Amino acid sequence: MMTRTPFQVLLFIWLSLVLGCAGIYHTDIFPEDVLAQLNKAVTFPQVRESPSSHQGTLMMVGGEVISAKRLKDHTRLTVLQLPLDRSQKPSTDRTQSQGRFLAMQPEFLDPATLPPGTRVTLIGTVSGATTEMLDEMEYTYPILTIKHLKVWPEQVPLPYWYSPHAYGPYWYRPYFIGPYGGRYWDTLHPYRW
């Protein structure tokens, strides 16, 4: 019988926790059979440069809604493209954007549910391009027909005094921001605030 050293046991527990937590971030928000059909070799910059040569390509792209408009037979989203993280969620850093695109939802989609700033991830088919005025210049928008759409909930900013140690075993808040921006150490019980 093989015995394990305490180090091996701790290493096994640590690896289990790390790999288990890493699995949380790799959850797919779309069905596996749809993900298997994606053309992962095609990138958004390639589609932006030549939409006609990638027409019919099924791809995943994400971004931030600039506007949503209900038209006669579809809903049109103007989206600022943003790179996706491991959980297929768009980045919040707009400087990483590689352009804009139009996403067409054939079924009814209330524009009020997608106000400007809403982050979305979608799987869609490249269906062409259109040129429109963007401020004082002409801009070519790739068009994607939406097959699957994930709308991400709005991120609520944490309070300015938040600290990961604020709700420790002794229920104390290690510091708070004073009226002039300074930090003041505070170990008072929360019910005395």
Beta partners for residue 129, in sequence order: 142
Q: Write the pLDDT tens digit of every residue in 12-26.
A: 776 666 655 554 444
Residue 121 identity (one-letter amino acid): T
Asked if residue 38 and residue 106 are part of one domain, the reply reads yes
Domain check: are 139 and 161 in the same one?
no
Within a domain: 6: no
Residue 71 lies in a domain: yes
Q: Residues 67-86, buried b or exposed e (16+ Cβ, 10 A)?
A: ebeeeeebbbbbbbbbeeee
Are residues 121 and 175 located together in one domain of the fold? no
> Is residue 129 located within the same domain as residue 39?
yes
**191 belongs to a structural domain:** yes
* pLDDT at residue number 75: 94
Task: Find the range with the poorest average confidence among 61-70, 100-109, 110-119, 174-183.
Answer: 174-183
If asked whether residues 51 and 98 sit together in one domain, one would say yes
Residue 24: per-residue pLDDT: 44
CB 173 within 8 A of CB 163: yes
Please say whether the beta carbons of 59 and 124 come within 8 A.
yes
Looking at the domain assignment, is residue 184 inside a domain? yes
Q: How far apart are CA 67 and CA 80, in angstroms?
A: 10
In a domain, 101, yes or no: yes
Pair 136, 114 in one domain: yes
Residues 141 and 176 in one domain: no
Shared-domain flag, residues 164 and 147: no
Same domain, 55 and 124: yes
Please give the residue range of the domain that contains residue 176. Answer: 157-193
- Asked whether residue 60 is assigned to any structural domain, the reply reads yes
pLDDT in tens, 29-56: 888 988 999 999 999 999 999 999 999 9
Residues 42 and 124 in one domain: yes
Tens of pLDDT, residues 58-74: 999 999 999 999 998 89
Residue 19: inside a domain? no
The separation between the first and the last C-alpha atoms of the chain, rounded to the nearest angstrom, is 58
38 shares its domain with 133: yes
Instruction: Specify the pLDDT at position 164.
Output: 54
pTM, two decimal places: 0.68
pLDDT, position 157: 63
Give me the number of domains the chain comprises. Answer: 2
Q: Which of 69-73, 157-161, 187-191 has the highest mean pLDDT?
A: 69-73
